[in-house]
C-alpha cells in the first residue's frame, strides 16, 4: 500500500512539473524584461528618437524600420516602432502586439489595436465602400486623389475607425469591411475570413461572411477572464504565474487568474494581492 501511495505521489509530482514551463536562461530573461520595462514606460532609446525624426524622409523608412526592430527585439517589443506607427500613420498599436499584418501603411489612419494581439499576414482593412448607388463607382467621381475633383465626396477612412481589442488573433488573409467597427477582446478570426460586422469578445468567427463558430470558453470561465483584464498587465507581472497561460484554462485556473489580475489588485510573486 505504501508503495502504491509513493507511486501515485511521484506521478502527481511529475504531472505538476509538466505544468511549469521551462524558461530561457537568466541572462536572456533579464534582457527581455529590460525591454519590457522600456516598452511599458514608452521610453525611446537614443537611437529610437533619431530614427523617429529621420523617418520623415521616405527613402530611409525601410532601413530605419529594420534598424529599430533589430535593436529593440522585434516590433512586438519596440516602443520606437509604435511611435512611428502613431506619428506617421495615425495608428495606435498596443504593447506586445505583433505580426506581418501590421506592416506600416497597411492599416488606415484611426485604427487602434490592443495589447498582446497576433495579426496574420495579408490583413486588409477597408473603411469606406465604393458608392454603389451612384451612376459610377469609379474613384474619378468621389475622391480628389485621381486628378479630377478638388475635394473628396465620401467620408475619409478615419471617420470610420476600426478598434481591435486585446489578445485578438487574426488569421492570415483576413479582410475587415466598413460594417465592422470593433473586434472584441480575446476574439479569433479564422484565416481567409471576410468580416462584415462587429465581433463580440471571446468569439471564434470564420467564413465569408464571417459567422460565429463557437465561443472560446464556457460562460463562467469567460466571465472570469473578462474580470481579470490580465492584458492590462505587463509581461513582467505575468511571468511569475506562467502556469495560468501555458496550458488549457480550467475553471480553477480562471478563478486564480481573476483573483490575481483583476484591476485594482497588486500582483505579488507569491500570487497574493493587495486591494479589493
Are 112 and 166 found together in one domain? yes
Are 168 and 69 found together in one domain? no
**What pLDDT, on the 0 to 100 scale, is given for residue 126?**
96
Cell 505544468 maps to which residue? 19
Are 63 and 173 found together in one domain? no
Residue 264 inside a domain? The answer is: yes
**What pLDDT, on the 0 to 100 scale, is given for residue 104?**
77
Residue 139 inside a domain? The answer is: no
Total of domains in the chain: 3
Are 257 and 197 found together in one domain? no
Residue 261 inside a domain? The answer is: yes
Are 36 and 80 found together in one domain? yes
Return d(Cα 120, Cα 174) in angstroms, integer.
Answer: 8
In terms of C-beta density within 10 A (0-12 exposed, 13-18 middle, 19 or more buried), how is residue 216 classed?
middle
Are 183 and 264 found together in one domain? no
Domain boundary pick from 35, 64, 89? 89
Residue 166 inside a domain? The answer is: yes
Return d(Cα 9, Cα 229) in angstroms, integer.
Answer: 35
Residue 133 inside a domain? The answer is: no
pLDDT digits (tens), the chain, 276 positions: 455 444 444 444 444 444 667 888 999 999 999 999 999 999 999 999 999 999 999 999 999 999 999 999 898 999 999 999 999 999 999 999 999 988 878 899 999 999 999 999 999 999 999 999 999 999 999 999 888 999 999 999 899 999 999 999 999 999 999 999 999 999 999 999 999 999 999 999 999 999 999 999 999 999 999 999 999 999 999 999 999 999 999 999 999 999 999 987 665 443 332 322
Are 203 and 224 found together in one domain? no
**What pLDDT, on the 0 to 100 scale, is given for residue 102?**
87
**4 in active site:** no
**What pLDDT, on the 0 to 100 scale, is given for residue 5?**
47
Residue 134 inside a domain? The answer is: no
Q: What is the DSSP letter of 275?
A: -
Residue 141 inside a domain? The answer is: no
Are 51 and 84 found together in one domain? yes
Are 119 and 185 found together in one domain? yes
What CATH number is given to the structural domain containing 185? Answer: 2.160.10.10
Q: Rounded to the nearest 10 degrees, what angle do helices 79-89 and 46-54 cross at?
A: 20
Are 188 and 123 found together in one domain? yes
Nearest Cα to Cα of residue 46 among 87, 92, 80: 80
**pTM of structure:** 0.87
Domain that holds residue 50: 23-89
**What pLDDT, on the 0 to 100 scale, is given for residue 265?**
66
End-to-end CA distance of the chain: 46
Domain boundary pick from 216, 234, 258? 216
Are 233 and 250 found together in one domain? yes
Are 209 and 223 found together in one domain? no
**What pLDDT, on the 0 to 100 scale, is given for residue 267?**
56
Q: Which of 130, 138, 166, 241 is catalytic?
A: 130
CA distances to 10, 11, 64, 265 from 4, in Å: 10, 11, 63, 43
Residue 14 inside a domain? The answer is: no
Nearest Cα to Cα of residue 240 among 224, 225, 257: 257
Domain boundary pick from 63, 89, 115? 89
Amino acid at each position: 500500500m505504501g508503495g502504491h501511495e509513493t507511486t501515485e505521489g511521484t506521478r502527481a509530482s511529475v504531472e505538476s512539473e509538466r505544468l511549469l514551463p521551462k524558461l530561457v536562461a537568466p541572462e536572456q530573461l533579464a534582457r527581455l524584461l529590460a525591454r519590457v520595462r522600456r516598452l511599458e514606460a514608452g521610453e525611446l532609446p537614443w537611437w529610437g528618437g533619431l530614427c523617429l525624426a529621420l523617418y520623415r524622409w521616405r527613402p530611409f523608412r525601410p532601413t530605419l524600420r529594420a534598424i529599430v526592430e533589430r535593436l529593440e527585439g522585434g516590433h512586438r517589443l519596440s516602443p520606437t516602432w509604435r511611435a512611428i506607427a502613431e506619428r506617421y500613420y495615425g495608428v495606435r498599436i498596443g504593447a506586445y502586439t505583433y505580426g506581418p499584418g501590421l506592416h506600416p501603411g497597411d492599416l488606415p489612419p484611426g485604427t487602434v489595436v490592443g495589447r498582446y494581439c497576433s495579426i496574420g499576414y495579408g490583413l486588409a482593412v477597408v473603411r469606406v465602400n465604393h458608392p454603389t448607388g451612384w451612376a459610377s463607382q469609379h474613384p474619378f467621381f468621389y475622391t480628389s486623389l485621381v486628378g479630377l475633383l478638388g475635394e473628396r465626396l465620401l467620408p475619409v477612412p478615419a471617420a470610420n475607425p476600426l478598434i481591435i481589442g486585446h489578445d485578438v488573433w487574426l488569421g492570415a488573409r483576413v479582410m475587415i469591411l466598413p460594417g465592422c467597427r470593433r473586434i472584441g477582446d480575446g476574439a479569433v478570426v479564422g484565416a481567409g475570413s471576410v468580416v462584415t460586422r462587429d465581433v463580440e469578445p471571446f468569439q471564434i468567427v470564420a467564413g465569408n461572411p464571417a459567422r460565429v463558430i463557437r465561443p472560446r470558453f464556457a460562460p463562467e470561465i469567460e466571465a472570469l477572464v473578462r474580470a481579470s483584464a490580465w492584458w492590462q498587465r505587463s509581461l513582467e507581472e505575468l511571468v511569475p504565474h506562467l502556469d495560468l497561460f501555458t496550458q488549457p484554462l480550467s475553471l480553477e485556473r480562471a478563478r486564480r487568474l481573476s483573483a490575481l489580475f483583476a484591476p485594482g489588485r497588486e500582483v505579488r510573486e507569491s500570487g497574493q494581492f493587495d486591494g479589493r
